[in-house]
């Protein structure tokens, strides 16, 4: 697409975590009426002209901002635009831009009477623009009781199938939250993930999405966790059919899978859907997807983790789904003691889980079992329980706990 006169394209840059290619225009340059149909998206400062996918799991936006004006992505979203109301004519928009008023924040922070005298714009027109700007961008107050009732109606607590772990988690896995299990190899992360899946589908209306990264999904573990239904093949088939396994092999496939799930959930008519009744999403061994793309570019690494964390929180909160992620433990730099170990993926990721549990082998198990029959679960992050606190989990067949 060729640009109107007065516009120029600036090389791609990064703003607020997004890749932004900014189209600049000279202050006071307005799009002629004759070109409005040809360039319908250029009708306001900071509006999106077009967008396209790029190599990263982001969107590249082509936007317009006056030369010499440093704009954040939030400013661009709140930009004044031609036609936002009948009072916002091409002439009025040009006058506002000459006064340095680009966004709704700039406009509402100015005194309308002084602005009317300075720019020779009718006061009633400025009032109309102010009302529309406030209606579009202001937050609406809500009654606390309404928020509480909405939370209760969408909240569910999913049992993990382990009494001691449920007690540690204040009832189980909460929908709308991200829960993390972090532990070394052989501490039972895979077994616990399978037990959580089985326990969730005991309710006939629930289904589970198990995102498998390293071929750890095992139907035999699922069946071992349901000894009570082994004689009844119909119940067994019903439960297993509601546990869907999806294999991904890099973080971009994970982004794509999460996007497909969210799109399906947002478009479904609540009567039939591939993800109908989805209550639990399990992502096992997440670091195996993250480490291969790590580079010396720290902002890139942090951006990937931040975007993934935001995506998981959006999935959990928007659709009342519990998200369970398993992680590894790593040693702190310069330390080798086991009590100095912490979950992997660094500080950026540490802000993502609402609840974090670390798993470790019990010392008494080393000399007896090659794979421990009991592990110690320690709650290290929670918004409901006092931390740290711990419990003993039995990894015996059937998932009994002590």
Query: Which domains can be identified in the chain, with CATH numbers?
Result: 7-137 (no CATH), 151-356 (3.40.50.300)
Q: Which residues contact 34 (CB under 8 A, 6 or more apart)?
A: none
What are 136's two structure tokens? 């579009």
Q: Is 235 exposed, middle or buried (0-12, 13-18, 19+ CB in 10 A)?
A: middle
Which residues, 6 or more positions from 150, have their beta carbon under 8 angstroms from its beta carbon?
none
Q: Residue 227 burial (CB < 10 Å; 0-12/13-18/19+)?
A: exposed
Residues 36, 29 contacting (CB under 8 angstroms): no
11 — alpha (psi -120 to 50), left (phi > 0) or beta? beta
Element housing 280 (H / E): strand 278-283
Q: What radius of gyration, in Å, describes the C-alpha atoms of the chain?
A: 27
- Is 188:395 a contact under the CB 8 Å cutoff? yes
**pLDDT one digit per residue (tens) for the chain, 402 residues:** 444 444 444 443 433 333 334 444 444 444 433 333 333 343 333 333 333 333 333 333 344 444 344 444 455 567 787 878 888 888 888 888 888 888 888 888 889 898 888 889 899 989 998 898 888 888 777 888 888 887 777 788 998 888 889 999 988 999 999 999 998 888 889 999 999 999 999 888 889 999 998 888 888 888 888 777 766 788 888 888 889 999 998 889 999 999 999 988 887 554 456 788 899 999 999 989 888 888 777 788 888 899 999 999 999 998 889 999 999 988 876 555 555 788 888 888 989 999 999 998 876 544 444 445 788 888 999 888 888 888 888 877 544 443
pTM: 0.62
Place of tokens 């991200």: 178
Q: Which of 166, 163, 188 is nearest to 179 (CA)?
A: 166
Write out the two tokens for 133.
Answer: 């700007």
How far does the chain reach from its first CA to its final CA, in angstroms? 67
Is residue 400 a contact partner of residue 378, using CB atoms and an 8 Å limit?
no
Instruction: Strands of 34-144 (E only): list them.
Output: 48-53, 59-66
Structure tokens at 129: 């623009």
């Amino acid at each position: 697409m060729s640009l109107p006169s007065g516009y120029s394209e600036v090389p791609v840059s990064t703003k607020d975590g997004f890749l932004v290619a900014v189209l600049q225009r000279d202050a006071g340059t307005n799009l002629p009426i004759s070109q409005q149909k040809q360039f319908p998206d250029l009708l306001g400062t900071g509006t999106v002209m077009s967008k396209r996918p790029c190599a990263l799991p982001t969107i590249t936006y082509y936007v317009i901002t006056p030369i010499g004006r440093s704009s954040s992505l939030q400013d661009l979203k709140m930009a004044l635009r031609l036609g936002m109301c009948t009072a916002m004519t091409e002439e009025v928009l040009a006058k506002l831009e000459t006064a340095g008023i680009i966004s709704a924040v700039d406009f509402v922070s100015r005194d309308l009477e002084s602005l009317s005298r300075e720019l020779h714009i009718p006061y009633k027109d400025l009032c109309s623009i102010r009302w529309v700007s406030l209606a579009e961008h202001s937050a609406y107050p809500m009654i606390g009781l309404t928020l509480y009732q909405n939370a209760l109606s969408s909240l569910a607590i999913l049992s993990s199938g382990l009494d001691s772990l449920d007690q540690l988690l204040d009832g189980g896995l909460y929908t709308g939250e991200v829960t993390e299990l972090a532990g070394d190899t052989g501490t039972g992360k895979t077994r616990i993930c399978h037990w959580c899946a089985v326990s969730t589908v005991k309710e006939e209306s629930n289904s589970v999405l198990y995102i498998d990264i390293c071929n750890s999904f095992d139907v035999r573990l699922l069946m071992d966790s349901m000894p009570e239904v082994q004689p009844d093949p119909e119940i067994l088939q019903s439960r297993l059919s509601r546990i869907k396994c999806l294999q991904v092999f890099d973080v971009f496939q994970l982004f794509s899978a999460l996007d497909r799930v969210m799109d399906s959930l947002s478009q479904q008519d609540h009567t039939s859907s591939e993800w109908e009744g989805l209550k639990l999403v399990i992502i096992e061994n997440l670091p195996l997807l993250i480490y291969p793309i790590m580079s010396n570019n720290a902002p890139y690494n942090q951006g990937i983790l931040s975007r993934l964390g935001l995506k998981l929180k959006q999935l959990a909160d928007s659709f009342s789904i519990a998200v369970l992620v398993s992680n590894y433990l790593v040693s702190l730099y310069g330390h080798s003691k086991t009590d100095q170990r912490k979950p992997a993926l660094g500080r950026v990721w540490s802000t993502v889980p609402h609840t974090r549990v670390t798993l470790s082998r019990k010392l008494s198990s080393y000399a007896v079992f090659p794979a421990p029959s009991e592990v110690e679960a320690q709650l290290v992050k929670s918004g409901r329980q006092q931390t740290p606190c711990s419990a003993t989990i039995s990894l015996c067949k059937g998932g009994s706990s002590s």
